[in-house]
Chains A and B, each alone.
Chain A
Amino acid sequence: MQDTLRRELEEAGVRASDRRYVKALALVRANAFLSGRGEATEEDLAPLAHALWQDPSQIRPVRKAVLARANPYLEKARELLDDAEEVHKEAMASEDANAANAGNEANKKLKGISDRLLSKLAEAQDAGRDAAGIKDTLSKVEEMKKQVLKHCFGMDF
């Protein structure tokens, strides 16, 4: 399981030392234990997303590779969150003259992202996967939507 992940990461140009991989095993075991499992599953690889990068530029590829194995639904949700952050940032940077246009576009996009997240949430729940991360992502996007409405249209909830 970890070997496959290691190979995938190396293909993505991320090389971590043997020592780091061995140390990281404790995280996998701990995650399995804390989730009430006596044996680690692919889902328990999730914490490695925080452990295998060495440079900030590697955060995204590591997270992508790890989550693709540990929780593919969450990985898609994180990609959508990245999109939402970009949309949100652009709208929040808009100035008065352009705020309505930017807010309109961002609001529509954030709604679209929320809809997609909801469908990922349903898929994850149907597959019996941990959906807490997707719910968390969803609430972040909802919060961004509120901020955009406030910034661009003065609507406060």
Chain B
Amino acid sequence: MAGGDPLNQNRPDGADREERLLRITGAIADGVSVDWEAEMKQSPDLRGVLQRLALVERIRNAARASDQG
């Protein structure tokens, strides 16, 4: 998935892909835990981007922990 807009890959399933990705990034923004294993099973085409987002979620959690510390 190198280069390009992750939300518009000019593919027939682009809208569905966008919807799935924004549902997950929305959950991160909301502070809701994401079941990464389930998401990767459900969306193997998004595996790479999901791995990165899992890291972003951990960074968010670390920031929250630091806030409370």
Q: Do A and B bind each other?
A: no
A interface residues, Cβ below 8 angstroms from B: none
B interface residues, Cβ below 8 angstroms from A: none
